[in-house]
Amino acid sequence: MRNPDNVFHLAIPCRDLDEAYDFYVTRLGCKLARRYNDRITLDFFGDQVVCHLSDQWDRDVTMYPRHFGVTFKDKQSYDNLLKLAKMRDIPFFQEPTHRFQGLVEEHETFFLIDPSNNLLEFKYYFDDRMMY
Amino acid sequence: MRNPDNVFHLAIPCRDLDEAYDFYVTRLGCKLARRYNDRITLDFFGDQVVCHLSDQWDRDVTMYPRHFGVTFKDKQSYDNLLKLAKMRDIPFFQEPTHRFQGLVEEHETFFLIDPSNNLLEFKYYFDDRMMY
Amino acid sequence: MRNPDNVFHLAIPCRDLDEAYDFYVTRLGCKLARRYNDRITLDFFGDQVVCHLSDQWDRDVTMYPRHFGVTFKDKQSYDNLLKLAKMRDIPFFQEPTHRFQGLVEEHETFFLIDPSNNLLEFKYYFDDRMMY
Amino acid sequence: MRNPDNVFHLAIPCRDLDEAYDFYVTRLGCKLARRYNDRITLDFFGDQVVCHLSDQWDRDVTMYPRHFGVTFKDKQSYDNLLKLAKMRDIPFFQEPTHRFQGLVEEHETFFLIDPSNNLLEFKYYFDDRMMY
Amino acid sequence: MRNPDNVFHLAIPCRDLDEAYDFYVTRLGCKLARRYNDRITLDFFGDQVVCHLSDQWDRDVTMYPRHFGVTFKDKQSYDNLLKLAKMRDIPFFQEPTHRFQGLVEEHETFFLIDPSNNLLEFKYYFDDRMMY
Amino acid sequence: MRNPDNVFHLAIPCRDLDEAYDFYVTRLGCKLARRYNDRITLDFFGDQVVCHLSDQWDRDVTMYPRHFGVTFKDKQSYDNLLKLAKMRDIPFFQEPTHRFQGLVEEHETFFLIDPSNNLLEFKYYFDDRMMY
Amino acid sequence: MRNPDNVFHLAIPCRDLDEAYDFYVTRLGCKLARRYNDRITLDFFGDQVVCHLSDQWDRDVTMYPRHFGVTFKDKQSYDNLLKLAKMRDIPFFQEPTHRFQGLVEEHETFFLIDPSNNLLEFKYYFDDRMMY
Amino acid sequence: MRNPDNVFHLAIPCRDLDEAYDFYVTRLGCKLARRYNDRITLDFFGDQVVCHLSDQWDRDVTMYPRHFGVTFKDKQSYDNLLKLAKMRDIPFFQEPTHRFQGLVEEHETFFLIDPSNNLLEFKYYFDDRMMY
């Protein structure tokens, strides 16, 4: 179990702050913590994601090596998010997939893509020891 | 407070897995969860960081827009990590800095750099509501 | 997750302390913390509600903009309270309703009314990220 | 201790959503959860406050019987918020006060006022059993 | 929710320490914390019960006004204990009973009797708000 | 650590319900959960104490073998309660005492007496493993 | 409930560190914390196991008196581990067994054996009070 | 942080159950959970240690490779236990030692020895990340 008092911190590029706000707050349901001229800071599922206005966003999107997201302990949380993504037409980079079937690492996963081509992965493992 | 059961997931590039292992496990004191031919997965301060073998690591390092790390609730944890980084000669991208003095956002921060030029930021805020 | 050590504090008008005691403690099952000549303080589902003796209670009751209550994480808690309200004949301002069906914000809700015309709303969201 | 999974829910009037956003998010440091045409929903110190656009805001402000806020278990949290309020020039309805000195109910308290004349009280009790 | 760090403390009479040890530790499955010449101290379901050697034990047993025990949040814990009591032939003072059916205070309860005629009650409420 | 979800349950005699209410709620600061004709139920420091109207209250008071109370993990809670007892003139059965000095079982303790001659003990151990 | 902040510490012999790494990390899914010339330290289901390079490993393996492992509160965790052991061909010292059927101590258990003949037991009790 | 619901399980040899009881319960202050003809089970600082009657206890005692104990997060717990061991004349196998001074792994440690020559180590790390 991780320490509930600390916060993971991730800074990512975004090409437009309003776009980022629309994607993360209005659609994905994250909470806006702060807005500055050059960035917005988000409470992203309990951790902090900062979208920095920048021209260094990826023009070519590949699944590896860069992406980020949440691995849920609870299947319901994973399903709720998947339902939200579909209902609100958030673009999928990869549809929900069942990976490593028959192995201990078996999990469900899907990838979303934000307006600045950042990839978000959300996962649920059948054996929660595999979350790491 | 974030949910202690979930795990933040971050995938980053690394040019050499042994280098990454040495940096994250041997020096930074993270725990190795799994090792595959093309990646290692880490218990990074309670969350998951995956180092993917890749040629897409940054040749030019800039503080923005990409970096990641932990904001500690407890000053002692921040100080312990800073001491570890110095004792074990982990390279600093930016020395410990006191930012936004006199503002509510006042915090201490330092940046480390891993062998694949990924930047890690660790922070401590005097007002913990600013962690987001 | 909110901090279990802190307490939300709400002060509301009441036209008669005995009436308020009867409504909140005897019927709704809240705990009486303190009683003074001009107010009673309650442990209201873990937070604090203070009923101040006052003539400023609402003569005209409207659902908006003022009401308060609890959003339960657990469906059972919502159902238990609904059952209690019916069994003990607590007056409903609005019967149990299923709102925003088909949307992510889908939730169940009902409104009670206290003897001083304060409105209490209790909710259960199918996606707990929508509790905020 | 209250249940960390549930959320207290409070709906209040506001005469202008941008004003409310500026007061609660930009200045008080609450997180914006959702914005609609007629309301904004906030993560207010872990609970939910909803500002409803309405003409029913109080023209005459009195401390009683209506106000809301947080009683902090930890003195540091109280002090941090007081410092934030001063640094960011948030208007006080009542300056920090030491009440009931010499009694068990002894506590520190201050009142802020939002742009729609809603009063916010923040408290710290020396004996935490008096938080209710 | 009660504070998990504190311990409720109850001192009761017992006419024989070996008898008490046999009842509480060997049969009821409580943990022995300390044994002195004149008393044993027990970890009784997480709280502390001290059996004092004494002649003041009750010759006449009545359900009221004195008894003690645990109200379980979780039905499984109640059922497990009931099963243990039956399997190990612990004497019942009152068989498992379903009380207040149709009321909010509805609960299941049974009473055990220790060798010094102390009565133990264990309960499970269908609405956990009624545990107090 | 005990389970925060369960509740210790203690039933004691009281000769007068108003007296009991005055002692436990008004003076000792416990919360009233329910009041019936023949008993009151209390949230007593997070556990449940039920005062049953009864003629079987003790005419002769002795410290052993019957008393109940709380052992606090935190010294501040012990001190706060002691201060409350003095400020509100709650009768002491035994003044604050430092017991077993020089032994591991060293602790501070005081005894209060309620209007029906029930004895309440509150303790603080220097080594918290001795709380049991 | 045990204290989540402390760590149980167990030191055991191992005849080869690579073998131990392979068994505990690669197959059993424990996390590697540190590796030295003469030992590896593991995050073993949240506690610490240290494998010391040593010639004192057991040549004759008997179930008693020495073995170690985890008793899971949750049946799913027990089942997940059993599934992992089978899928990854971890050698069983004793196949999954249902012990003490019809008694309160009823539980499921299996024994694994590591390359240095250390025995690992994993258990699930139907009555969680029997975990001790 | 480890899962507070699970229990680490360790079985060790002991040459005499009364001796073991005296050492672990009466002197070290562990709680006795169960006693059988051939073993006693203990709540050992929140985890389970089982002392099996056996002739396979170590005649020659060496610090490595076998010992077990607890690493405390909190310095006070370490100091309390050290004080207890001295006050109650529990035999030390190794006096309190300060190891790895100047390194991140710096910690305090002492070793006790039980009547069957099992070694117990208790530790406190200055940087709690080194507990694993």
Question: Once rounded to an integer, what is the mean pLDDT over residues B42-58?
Answer: 97
| Closest-CA residue of chain G to F5 | G1
Interface check B33 vs H, CB under 8 A = no
Q: What percentage of chain B has pLDDT greater than the value 90?
A: 99
Interface check B7 vs G, CB under 8 A = no
Closest partner residue to B104 (CB to CB) among D31, D46, D84 is: D84
pLDDT computed for residue A52 by the predictor? 98
pLDDT computed for residue H7 by the predictor? 98
| CB contact (8 A) between residue G104 and residue E83 | yes
Interface check D26 vs A, CB under 8 A = yes
Q: Please give the CATH topology (third level) of the domain spanning E9-54+67-131.
A: 2,3-Dihydroxybiphenyl 1,2-Dioxygenase; domain 1 (3.10.180)
C-alpha span between D99 and F125 (Å, rounded): 32
pLDDT computed for residue A84 by the predictor? 98
Q: Which of B31, B42, B88 to mutate to test the interface with G (most CBs of G within 10 A)?
A: B31
pLDDT computed for residue E4 by the predictor? 97
Do B7 and B106 contact (CB within 8 A), yes or no? Answer: no
Model confidence band, residue C8 (pLDDT cutoffs 50, 70, 90): very high
The structure tokens 């240095």 sit at G116
Q: Which of E1, E5, E112, E116 to mutate to test the interface with F (most CBs of F within 10 A)?
A: E5
Question: Once rounded to an integer, what is the mean pLDDT over residues B63-71?
Answer: 97
Interface check B19 vs G, CB under 8 A = no
| CB contact (8 A) between residue B3 and residue C1 | yes
Question: Would you give per-residue pLDDT tens digits along chain G (132 residues)?
Answer: 999 999 999 999 999 999 999 999 999 999 999 999 999 999 999 999 999 999 999 999 999 999 999 999 999 999 999 999 999 999 999 999 999 998 999 999 999 999 999 999 999 999 999 999
pLDDT computed for residue B69 by the predictor? 98
Which pairs count as long-range contacts for H58-62, CB under 8 Å and 24+ apart, including other chains? H58/H13, H58/H116, H58/H117, H58/H118, H59/H117, H61/H93, H61/H113, H61/H117, H61/H119, H62/G56
Model confidence band, residue B54 (pLDDT cutoffs 50, 70, 90): very high
A18-32 residue pLDDT tens? 999 999 999 999 999
CA G132 to chain centre: 17
Model confidence band, residue B76 (pLDDT cutoffs 50, 70, 90): very high
Show me where the domains of chain E are located.
9-54+67-131
Do E6 and G107 contact (CB within 8 A), yes or no? Answer: no
Q: How many CA atoms lie within 13 A of H93 on its CB side?
A: 20
- Residues of chain H falling short of pLDDT 50: none
How many contacts (CB atoms, under 8 Å) link A and D? 23
Interface check D35 vs C, CB under 8 A = no
Beta bridge partners of A31: A43
Q: In chain E, positions 72-111, which contact chain F (CB-CB < 8 Å)?
A: 72-74, 77
Model confidence band, residue C93 (pLDDT cutoffs 50, 70, 90): very high
Model confidence band, residue A86 (pLDDT cutoffs 50, 70, 90): very high
Chains in contact with G, where contact requires at least 3 CB pairs less than 8 Å apart: A, B, E, F, H
**Residues of chain G contacting E88 with CB distance shorter than 8 Å:** 104
Model confidence band, residue D110 (pLDDT cutoffs 50, 70, 90): very high
| CB contact (8 A) between residue G11 and residue H132 | no
pLDDT computed for residue D15 by the predictor? 98
pLDDT computed for residue H121 by the predictor? 98
Q: DSSP readout, H29-96?
A: -PEEEEE-SSEEEEEETTEEEEEEE-S---SS--SSS-EEEEEESSHHHHHHHHHHHHHTTPPEEEEE
> Can you give the pTM of this predicted structure?
0.97
User: Per the structure block, which two tokens stand in for D63?
Assistant: 């401390």
Interface check F32 vs C, CB under 8 A = yes
Model confidence band, residue B53 (pLDDT cutoffs 50, 70, 90): very high
C17-57 residue pLDDT tens? 999 999 999 999 999 999 999 999 999 999 999 999 999 99
Model confidence band, residue A80 (pLDDT cutoffs 50, 70, 90): very high
C-alpha span between H51 and H35 (Å, rounded): 10
Question: Once rounded to an integer, what is the mean pLDDT over residues C58-84?
Answer: 97
Do D7 and D97 contact (CB within 8 A), yes or no? Answer: no
pLDDT computed for residue H39 by the predictor? 98
Question: Once rounded to an integer, what is the mean pLDDT over residues F36-46?
Answer: 98
Interface check F64 vs H, CB under 8 A = no
The structure tokens 């006790």 sit at H112
pLDDT computed for residue E124 by the predictor? 98
pLDDT computed for residue F5 by the predictor? 97
- C87: enclosing H helix or E strand: helix C75-87
C-alpha span between H82 and H72 (Å, rounded): 12
Mean pLDDT, chain C, whole residue set: 97
